[in-house]
């Protein structure tokens, strides 16, 4: 299912965020037994259309989208525990990042420049405050205006959960943090539940997915059993990666969040860590296993000294289309941003 087709059909509900849509799209693919495509897309790959507000309240719509994230939680049993993380280099880098601490300021600013299929740059500014608010803009001026007006996007439970999970990993409890990050958008596969309870949770999530499909006029497939074996493990790691990257892309300049994400990346089996240079600076490339991305590829380049994201390249398995995003992250104060000092 093409994401823009889905958005065109969502005429009767408020517009979901790109992150909520990515999680919902994964649920739809799981329910329809489609390959799980890349859901680790950076913020605002597309300019989302403004849709009319209908009788369905925003809270109900948000609940439907979050409940529809059922495809990639974690099951009960051995998979709850993090795989043995290799000490070098991600865990060592995470420790160095945390030891260095977060720079002064009260918010993290991330500027991303996206290059789509036409290679035209698309600039986006995201400001995530230490209080959990988020401001966005497509230029330094529109971001400054949003901050000056106090036009913050409401904090979501999902944002809060991924940040808590990242901080938990940074402070040492990686096993617990891994579970928290994987289940940040729901626990449809029943972490810590009995098989019967997990099956019930999965059935409820599929029912919610069916509701979403009916809402946009799409056929509803027959219910499917919970994934098992390697398919399940791939879904687990897919959502670990997706949710951890959401935390990183929203709040990269927070050293604690960044360190926690690096530690969680280190628990993903077959994650390839390579060395490179970017503009004369040492950098690391983190290549996610294609198996957890439905055959797509996702290569994230980070600064080898401070772990800040520099660049991400995603290539679709289905179409071989390639997308690139460049990142710049820094700590700022709201007062400076409101005054246009970016």
Which phi and psi (to 5°) does residue 286 adopt?
Answer: -110, 110
Q: Residue 249 in contact with residue 241, Cβ under 8 Å?
A: no
The pLDDT tens digits for 234-266 are: 988 998 999 999 999 999 999 999 999 999 999
User: Which residue from 161, 131, 305, 136 is spatially nearest to 247, judged by alpha carbons?
Assistant: 161
Mean pLDDT estimate for the chain: 77
Identify the three-state secondary structure at position 322. Answer: strand
Up-side HSE of residue 106: CA atoms within 13 Å toward CB? 9
Residue 15: burial class (beta carbons within 10 Å; 0-12, 13-18, 19+): middle
Query: Quick check: 294 pLDDT over 70?
Result: yes
Predicted pLDDT of residue 308: 97
Where do the DSSP E strands lie in the chain? Answer: 107-115, 121-129, 134-137, 272-278, 281-287, 297-303, 309-315, 322-332
6 vs 128, residue with greater confidence: 128
The pLDDT tens digits for 97-126 are: 999 999 999 999 999 998 877 778 889 999
| Largest interatomic CA distance in the chain | 56
The model carries a pTM of 0.76
The pLDDT tens digits for 167-189 are: 999 998 999 999 999 989 888 87
- H helix count then E strand count, the chain: 11, 8
Predicted pLDDT of residue 338: 96
Tell me the C-alpha to C-alpha distance, in Å, between residue 140 and each of 109, 145, 271, 285, 338.
11, 9, 35, 29, 10
Predicted pLDDT of residue 224: 87
Going by C-beta distance under 8 Å and a sequence separation of 6 or more, which residues neighbour residue 47? 122
Domains in the chain: boundaries? 3-338
Predicted pLDDT of residue 46: 28
Identify the three-state secondary structure at position 304. Answer: coil
The pLDDT tens digits for 208-242 are: 989 999 999 999 988 888 888 898 889 889 989 99
The pLDDT tens digits for 18-51 are: 444 344 444 433 333 333 333 333 333 322 222 2
Predicted pLDDT of residue 228: 84
Taking the C-alpha atoms of residue 135 and residue 126, their distance in angstroms, rounded to an integer, is 6
87 alpha-carbon distance from chain centroid: 24
Query: What confidence category does residue 87 fall into, taking pLDDT thresholds of 50, 70 and 90?
Result: low
């Amino acid at each position: 299912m093409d994401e823009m087709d889905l958005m065109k059909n969502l005429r009767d509900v408020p517009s979901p965020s790109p992150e909520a849509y990515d999680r919902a799209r994964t649920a739809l693919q799981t329910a329809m037994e489609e390959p799980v495509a890349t859901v680790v897309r950076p913020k605002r790959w597309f300019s989302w259309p403004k849709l009319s507000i209908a009788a369905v309240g925003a809270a109900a719509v948000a609940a439907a989208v979050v409940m529809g994230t059922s495809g990639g939680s974690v099951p009960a049993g051995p998979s709850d525990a993090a795989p043995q993380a290799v000490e070098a280099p991600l865990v060592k880098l995470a420790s160095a990042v945390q030891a260095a601490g977060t720079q002064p300021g009260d918010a993290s600013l991330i500027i991303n420049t996206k290059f789509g299929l036409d290679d035209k740059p698309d600039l986006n500014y995201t400001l995530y405050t230490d209080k959990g608010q988020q401001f966005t803009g497509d230029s330094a001026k529109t971001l400054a205006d949003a901050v000056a007006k106090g036009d913050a996007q409401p904090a979501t439970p999902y944002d809060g959960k991924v940040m808590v999970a990242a901080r938990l990993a940074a402070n040492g409890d990686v096993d617990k943090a891994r579970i928290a990050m994987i289940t940040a958008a729901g626990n449809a596969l029943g972490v810590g539940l009995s098989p019967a309870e997990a099956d019930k949770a999965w059935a409820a999530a599929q029912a919610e997915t069916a509701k979403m499909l009916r809402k946009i006029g799409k056929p509803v497939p027959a219910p499917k059993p919970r994934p098992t074996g390697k398919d399940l493990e791939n879904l687990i790691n897919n959502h670990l990666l997706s949710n951890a990257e959401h935390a990183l892309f929203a709040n990269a300049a927070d050293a604690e969040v960044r360190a926690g994400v690096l530690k969680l990346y280190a628990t993903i089996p077959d994650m390839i860590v390579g060395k490179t240079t970017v503009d004369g600076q040492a950098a690391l490339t983190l290549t996610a296993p294609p198996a957890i991305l439905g055959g797509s590829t996702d290569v994230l380049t980070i600064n080898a000294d401070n772990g800040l994201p520099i660049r991400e390249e995603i290539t679709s398995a289905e179409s071989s289309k390639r997308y690139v995003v460049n990142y710049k992250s820094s700590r700022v104060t709201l007062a400076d941003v409101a005054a246009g000092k970016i």
